[in-house]
Every structure is written in C-alpha cells, then in structure tokens.
Amino acid sequence: MTRALFIIDVQNDFTEGGALVVAGGSAVAAGVSALLAQHPNAYACVFASRDWHDPDGDNGGHFALSGEPDYSESWPVHCVAGTPGAEYHQALKLPEHTIHIRKGQGEAGYSIFDGVSEGGDKTGELLITNGVTDVDIVGLATDHCVRASGLDALEHGQHLRVLTDLVAGVNPDASEAALAELAYAGAVLATSDVVA
C-alpha cells in the first residue's frame, strides 16, 4: 500500500479575504499543515492542486465577465495565474517533495485530474509512476473541487479517504450531499486522527 495526500486548492482566493471565500478555508490551511508536521512520513507523495486560470478571456465560460455569476457553472474572477489570489494560503506549509498540479488553464478544471504538474505530467500518470494505491483528500471546496477530485480518484482505482475535518465547502447542504456521494461511490469518510 502506497498512500498519497491530495491537497485541493488551498489558495488565497478561496480563503477568508479572497475573491471567492470558502468559510473555514484558513482553518483548513492551518489544519493541513499541522497534519503534515505531526505525520511527516505518513505519505509517500503529496499532491497540491491550484486553480491557475488564464488572465485573458473567460476560461471556457468559467468566469462571469458579463452579468452575474450563477455560482454553479460561472464564477467571479479568481485564482488568475501569477496573482496573489492564486498562491497557496500562507498558513499552508508544504513539504519540499510536493507535486504541484495546476488546473483550469483556459477551462473550468474542477478536478486535480484535469491538471498537470510543472513538468507537464497528468495526475493519473503520476499516481501510476509512484505506485500510489491509496489517497487521502483534504482542501477546498468540499462541494466542488474536492468532490470532483475524489470521484476521479475512485474512477482511477484509488482507495479514497476524505478527511472530513480538513475540508470546507461553499454551501453546507451541497457539501453534505457531496460527502454522501463520495461515500456512496466507495470513499471512506474519516477524521484526520486516522492518519498514522
């Protein structure tokens, strides 16, 4: 068994004070850092994804450039490549060997599997290369990118645990529904105290 950690979109624009705030986002950043500090050898690989949207255009309709966003398919401008909003939250302390995944380059890109590493490798390929069989997932937002990334991990044959104390969502009801959907698809819902 080789376990990896997926840290989904713990970025300034998704935390308090950002363009698209997820309540509790800053606490998730601090909690993930504490988990990594307490269990430095728990994960063979750590993957951290970021929305890294193009500065020009609407990124495939993802940005509502005219009119109001519907907060389902279209969103306010956020996480534009190279801006402070796209950077990791300052409380998130990542290990040196972290594999950084950029997604949403010209498109919506909700799942970590939609992105590529700095070397251009896809997430699914990197899981195979590193012999990963099990994934723990944390981050933002439960009802959007955590959900999409978790469902894709299950489709890629991973044994998935969602660490429910280290995720936060946009909408409480939608977040509960997302966790239920993940569990129904085969994920284990657990708190971070299961990490050894």
SS3 (DSSP) at 7: strand
Q: Please write down the long-range contacts of 149-152, taking CB distance under 8 Å and 24 or more positions apart.
A: 149/6, 149/8, 149/49, 149/110, 149/111, 149/112, 149/113, 150/182, 150/185, 150/187, 151/111, 151/181, 151/182, 151/185, 152/111, 152/112, 152/113
Instruction: Out of 103, 114, 136, 152, pick the active-site residue.
Output: 103
Q: Any residues with CB less than 8 A from the CB of 191 and at least 6 apart, and which?
A: 163, 164, 165
Q: Is 145 a catalytic residue?
A: yes
Q: Which of 9, 51, 143, 152 is catalytic?
A: 9
9 part of the active site:
yes
- Which one from 114, 143, 145, 152 is the annotated catalytic residue? 145
Cβ proximity of 49 and 14 under 8 Å = no
Q: Is 193 a catalytic residue?
A: no
Are 162 and 135 in contact by the 8 Å Cβ rule? The answer is no
Residues designated as active site: 9, 103, 145
